[in-house]
A and B are shown apart, each in its own frame.
Chain A
Amino acid sequence: MIASDLAMLTYTLGVLILALPVPYRPLKSWGPKLIIDSITAAVLISSITLIISAGDIILNELGIGWDSFYLWLSSLTAGLSTAFLGLTYASTLIRSSSYSFLSAPLGIAASLLTTAFSSVKLIYLLSSFIYSFRDKLGVIGVLLYSLPFRMGKGVGAFLIAASVVMYVGFPLMPAFVNTFQTVTSRTPVHINPTIKLWVRDVDGNPLPYPILYFYSSSGGSTPVGVILGDERGEVIIGDSLDTLPKNFTLSLMVGFSGYYVRPEPPEVSSSIKEAVLKVVPAIYSNGVTLFLPKGSVLINSSVTNKTIGAFLELPNSGKAVISAVSEATVNQVIVDGERMNCSWMPYTWKSLGLKVSSVNLPEGKVRIKLVFDGAPYPKPSVNEKRLVYLDTVMDIVTALLTTAVSLVYSLIFLPGVYLVILTSITAGLSRALGGSKVRLI
């Protein structure tokens, strides 16, 4: 090993200086110094394996290992990623809503989280450096230590000390951070209720692409949300699309085929998970909808691909409305076995081409039958307005900010303090090993 040769060289140099025929004290005093240095270096060289394994011995005694440290780091990274996901989610929510002023605090949270990420990266880098290179650090330290004339004594001692202190110190970091960590909640993701609604006609057939208007229960003519259902009449609120508060009640209105109808039940609340919304006056089949007159009672009905039949009882005479997509053709409208002539009025609703006609129905029991060639009901174009509650969004933002700050505290501030402590311990140990003062700052 080169270090022992170097120590030997130092020793010889010391002896040489001692043997110099120059009666000059300061020069002579280097001789014994060098001899002592070389002997110290020799002791260190011989016990380098002992020094390096000292770390493992201490870690064994403490009952912690690098595995748990890396586990802790990865759990922290996972926590960070969750926070980031929550942030992205919140910012998409906010951007789509009218509360875009809230994106400023989210920006702060994002920058804090980014800083925390880079701090974790730094911890990863430092720890993996120490973990994989500590043997080399120790050996290089000893090598530098044994250089003659105290050339690398300080650095060498520091490196030797670092190889032990850092190796023991890094796995202890989780314990240190956890002791001083105050905020433990790391799940800022708001758990939204998810409510499934199925919009059906009076017979239970799905109405394709219904438009659901949500009104606040306290009143108001402006809808708080406008959501388009799918082709099977299914509407999902909550989940990741809307931000709903814990408790709410919203009254509903369904827009379908040019008409706005209050469904049964007329409200949706946070207590339900799914509900069938019946659009009572409508019977739908294949692009054609029959809207029954107000106050009528449906006794029975029969629906096929090409016909709609209904047997009604009317308290007084009224009008039934037939609404069809413009591609569909209604061939016959039969009321009590009598064929009616209908005039069709075309019109456009939510960029859907529709045609509408009405039939006068007499008082009492009436049979009405439609015969038609249907067409698929196209998707209307609607500016959806998802349900976003300011309180809930504020809660999310606050939770995110708290998490970001606590993460910064536990990922930047605490490890920083800990590293400073480790470095000062290293400096102390290196002084004990004979290195000179290491100035950190």
Chain B
Amino acid sequence: MGIVSFVQGLTVQIMAIAWALFLVSWAVGWAIRGAPIPIHRVKKAGQSLIEDAVLAAFWMAIGSSVFALISYITAAIYQPLPPPPQP
């Protein structure tokens, strides 16, 4: 199926980009935080970037597991579709 593979490919690409972005934002975050700029707000922005990046990395790492867990739980309470009534 063209669209499925397209979406899957897109997902993989975005995942790769997201990992790269994580590295970048983590680095940028640390850079801002560690920069010798005596402005508190800038430092805070750097801090939040690091936090977000770490969170993102966490969710990214756990993502497929989350989906697997959901499908596992629903499969546990799965009920086969009853045959449709004949009109």
Cα-based distance from A408 to B47 in the complex (angstroms): 70
Contact A52 B81 (CB under 8 A): yes
Q: Which A108-160 residues have a C-beta within 8 angstroms of B?
A: 131
Cα-based distance from A46 to B77 in the complex (angstroms): 10
Contact A31 B56 (CB under 8 A): yes
Answer yes or no: A61 CB below 8 A from chain B CBs: no
Q: Which partner residue on chain B sits nearest A16 by CB separation?
A: B18
Contact A2 B3 (CB under 8 A): yes
Contact A46 B70 (CB under 8 A): yes
Contacts of A5 in B (CB 8 A): 4, 7-8, 11
Answer yes or no: A35 CB below 8 A from chain B CBs: yes
Cα-based distance from A13 to B59 in the complex (angstroms): 11
Cα-based distance from A156 to B9 in the complex (angstroms): 24
Which listed segment binds B: A17-25, A97-105, A188-196? A17-25
Nearest-CB distance from A36 to chain B (Å)? 11
Cα-based distance from A367 to B40 in the complex (angstroms): 147
Cα-based distance from A16 to B59 in the complex (angstroms): 10
Partner of B78, one of A11, A21, A50: A50
Q: Which A334-388 residues have a C-beta within 8 angstroms of B?
A: none
Which of A4, A15, A42, A131: most chain B Cβ within 10 A? A15
Answer yes or no: A203 CB below 8 A from chain B CBs: no
What number of A-B contacts does a CB cutoff of 8 Å give?
Answer: 112
Nearest-CB distance from B40 to chain A (Å)? 14
Interface string of B41-77 (1 = CB under 8 A from A): 0000100110011011101100100110011011101
Contact B79 A50 (CB under 8 A): yes
Contacts of B70 in A (CB 8 A): 39, 42-43, 46
A15-B59, A18-B59, A47-B74 given; A8·B82 CB < 8 A: no
Cα-based distance from A424 to B74 in the complex (angstroms): 29
Cα-based distance from A56 to B85 in the complex (angstroms): 9
Partner of B1, one of A2, A52, A131: A2
Contacts of B35 in A (CB 8 A): none
Contacts of A42 in B (CB 8 A): 66-67, 70-71
Contact A19 B74 (CB under 8 A): no
Contact B80 A49 (CB under 8 A): yes
Answer yes or no: A28 CB below 8 A from chain B CBs: yes
A8-B67, A23-B45 given; A46·B75 CB < 8 A: yes
Q: Which partner residue on chain B sits nearest A131 by CB separation?
A: B87
Contacts of A7 in B (CB 8 A): 67
Contacts of B79 in A (CB 8 A): 49-50, 53
Q: Which partner residue on chain B sits nearest A40 by CB separation?
A: B70
Q: Which partner residue on chain B sits nearest A25 by CB separation?
A: B48
Cα-based distance from A66 to B75 in the complex (angstroms): 29
Contacts of A19 in B (CB 8 A): 18, 21-22, 25, 52-53, 56-57, 60
CB-defined A-B contacts under 8 Å, sample of 9:
A11-B63, A14-B59, A16-B56, A18-B53, A19-B22, A23-B49, A39-B66, A46-B74, A67-B85
What residues make up the interface of B, taking CB atoms closer than 8 Å to A?
1, 3-4, 7-8, 10-11, 14-15, 17-18, 21-22, 24-25, 28-29, 45, 48-49, 52-53, 55-57, 59-60, 63, 66-67, 70-71, 73-75, 77-82, 85-87
What residues make up the interface of A, taking CB atoms closer than 8 Å to B?
2, 4-9, 11-16, 18-21, 23, 28, 31, 35, 39, 42-43, 46-47, 49-50, 52-53, 56, 65-67, 70, 131
Top 8 closest A-B pairs, CB basis? A21-B25, A46-B74, A19-B56, A18-B56, A16-B18, A23-B45, A19-B22, A5-B7
